[in-house]
Structure formats: C-alpha cells, structure tokens
Amino acid sequence: MDILENQRAFFASGRTCGYAFRRAALERLKAEIKTHLAALYEALWADLHKSAEEACLTEIGITLREIDDQIGHLRRRMRPRRVGTPLFLRPSRSRIVCEPFGCVLILAPWNYPVQLTLAPLAGAVAAGNCAVLKPSPYTPNVSAVIRQIVESAFPPDHVAVVEGHREVNEALLAERWDYIFFTGSPELGRTVMRAAAEHLTPVTLELGGKSPCIVDNSADADIAARRIVWGKFLNAGQTCIAPDYLLVHQNIKAPLLERIKCHIRAFYGPDPKESPHYGRLVNDKAFERVASYLGNGIILAGGETDPEQRYIAPTLLDLGRPTDGVPVMQAEIFGPVLPVMEFVRLDEAVEFVNRHEKPLAFYYFGSPATGRDILRRTSSGGACINDTVLHIANDRLPFGGVGQSGTGKYHGAESFRTFSNRKAVLLSARSLDIPLKYPPYRHFGWIKKLLTF
C-alpha cells in the first residue's frame, strides 16, 4: 500500500519526533476543525439528524478539548521521566522515554464520527506517530468533511484518510501496522484482533456491551429520571455508554417511570419526531433491528416508528423481573428502547449484572456509599454514581472497556501513553565499573545483601 510505505519513509525521517512539529500539527488540526464547523454540523444533521447543540456538546467540544489538552501538556509528556535506581545498580540512572510507535491505523465508528475519529488522532499526533484514518461509510457526509479537514491540516505522508466499505477494511488490516486503534462492536473487534495477531501488532479496542443502570429505592426519582433520559436517548440511543437497561427497585419503579415519561416530553416535546434535538437510526438495517425489540415486552411509553425516516420514538419497555430470555436483553440495543426490570433485593440486581459480560459503563442511582460498595462488587470500563455518560467528558479520567467491552484506555494523558512505547532506559557511567557483577563473582555475599536476600 503506497500510503503506508510513504508514511513509513516520512516517519523514518524523524520529522514527527520534535516538539515544534507535533505542536504545529495539533494547532493546524484545531484550526481546520474550527474552519469546517458549519460543514461538520450540516454533515452530522444529514447523517444522524444530530442537532448543532448536541453535536457541539458530544462531538466538537470533546474533540477540541482533547486537542487543547494534548497541546497544553505536550512538552511535559514528551520529556523523559526520571525514576529511582536501586542501590545495586548505582551509579547508573534510570529514565522512562516515550517514543512513538510509528505508523498507526485508526478505525472509527459511525455513531460519534467526529469525536471518535479526531480525538484518537490528536493522541496519535501528539505522541509523534503517522496515522491513517478510516471513517465509517455509514456516515458519508461526515467522512467527506473529515477528509477535507485532514487534507488541509496534514501532508498525506503524515496523516491520511482512506474511505470505503468492508473490502477496504480487509485491505487495511492485511497490512503490518505499528499500532491499531479500533472503535466499534465486539464482533468487529474480534476481526481486528485476529488480523493484528498475524503481525503481533498491539491494539486498543474500544467496544461496547450492555451497560446496566441500577436505580435503588434511596434514589431521587426526578433527578435519576432526568439524567437517565438524557443519557439514554442522546443520539437516539446510539451511544456505546448509554444505559442499556434499567434495574429498578420495586418501591421506586412507579414514580421513576412517571418522571421518565415527563422528562421525555420536556426534552423532545409531545411528538419527538418533530423535535430538532432527537436523532434518527443510522440506516435501515439498524432501524429494523431495534424496531424488532418493541414486541419483547409491555410498551409503557413511545413505541411509534416511521421506517422512511428511520425514526423510533423514545420507548420504555417493561420486562417485569430481571431476565435475559428475550432478544432485547441478548445484545447491545444501540437504539432508543429502554428495557425496565424490577428487583426486590439489591443483591439480586448485582448478581444479574455479574452474570453477564463486563460492560463498558455502569450506572447507579441511590446512596453514594452504597454506590461505592456496588462498584467494588462489580467490574466495568467506567462508572457514574447518580449520573450517566458524563465520565467520558473528563479528559483526566481514562476511558475504555474491560473484558468483552474493550482493552486499552485513552483521553488526555492516557491517549499520549496509548500511542507511545514507554521505553525503559538505563544510563551507566563510563568511568566507574563495579566488578561484583562479573565472574568469578568474588565477594558474592555483598551482592546477595544488595539484592535483599
């Protein structure tokens, strides 16, 4: 592949290694995003019916903050870090040096096509890599604008965009990369990991899963409802960290569901289909899959659909007791359908969560002390107590999955580390050489003492 060969030559020239080069590249990326703001908003509306306000909050804002974080901390992150040296290695000195991997491949999804393409790119560029971006073909308008941004900000030997469908993905994955960063479904994540294994290429997999939300009887029903509605129906439910299902204490179920209905109406009006702030499913296949779940339980709110617009109303689906025996509970929903199940004992809800794969996110509403205890008893990529989704917005928190929901973290300093090889370096003096380490090992007793035997 010519692009990869050209990037290898560019990387070998050493131009990406300097602070000034990296900072200038990040500044150009930021400037081009701002130049193309109107085009990005139009493209996000065309592909996902995403409003400018939602796009600003969940796409552009997060991406620009990530770039600013990399620029603001770049010099410090590039600087070798001194670490202690044990007595038996003195007078040597020890350093950790962050070096770029080389040529990296970033495979992006369609649900947040700006953020999940350009935010990882900021980390890759800050760490000194060359990169090839592969946006999703399911958001073609956004992909076209991203191509314009990248071509204006970078020479193709540094950063390039490759567009296309599955055959392009297969061709890209057949190449030998120095690092692969993938965001998408667990099924595709397995394909990426198999391809990477052929060359022993390191990977970050940002996947998904069924993120549970437990609402205990100590929760504030109104606050919980408002935050659940926002986190679930953002981007029409097509968010990898959206609450996938509710486990609600039977004592609070009725008031919580009533407040959820009220907040759906407050956010999107009496007919969400007419709201400029409510999205659409990305394509017909996604619409058909999510619409098929509507018969899996009792519809408490919503349920209206329009296949031509790929519209599904914000829907509450009562499943009764905790169960995974229906299709809606067997895979990540990735749409605006929220199953609700009630529990009597909190342990029952925790046991249900722990019987399933580790999720990308976990949400708990209720007593903070109980929430912290629940987090100790469960495992997830990230979590919120008395909120949803917002942990992704703090670039000081690492973002990523665990187990089936992914491997590796990024955002802020974690992005720089993800795209860097943290090389161990020992600097020994040339003039002083302690003979104890050499055969025939005279005074070996001293060595044993130094090694704390």
Residues noted as catalytic: 206, 240
Residue keyed to tokens 């940002």: 206
Q: Which runs of E-coded beta strand occur in 304-378? A: 305-306, 311-312, 315-320, 337-343, 361-365
Beta pairing, strands 337-343 & 315-320: parallel
Beta pairing, strands 103-107 & 179-183: parallel
Q: Are 411 and 397 in contact (CB under 8 A)?
A: yes
Residue keyed to tokens 């249900």: 352
Q: Are 47 and 142 in contact (CB under 8 A)?
A: yes
Q: Are 300 and 323 in contact (CB under 8 A)?
A: no
What phi, psi does 312 have (nearest 5°)?
-130, 125
Q: Please give the C-alpha separations between residue 400 and each of 87, 240, 387, in angstroms, as whole numbers.
A: 38, 11, 18
Q: Are 283 and 139 in contact (CB under 8 A)?
A: no
d(Cα 159, Cα 26) in Å, to the nearest integer?
Answer: 12
d(Cα 235, Cα 334) in Å, to the nearest integer?
Answer: 10
SS (H, E, C) 173-229: HCCCCCEEEEECCHHHHHHHHHHHHHHCCCEEEECCCCCEEEECCCCCHHHHHHHHH
d(Cα 139, Cα 210) in Å, to the nearest integer?
Answer: 24
- Across the beta sheet with 93-100, the strand order is 81-83, 93-100, 420-427
Which two tokens mark 36?
């193309």
Tally Cβ neighbours within 10 Å of residue 97.
14
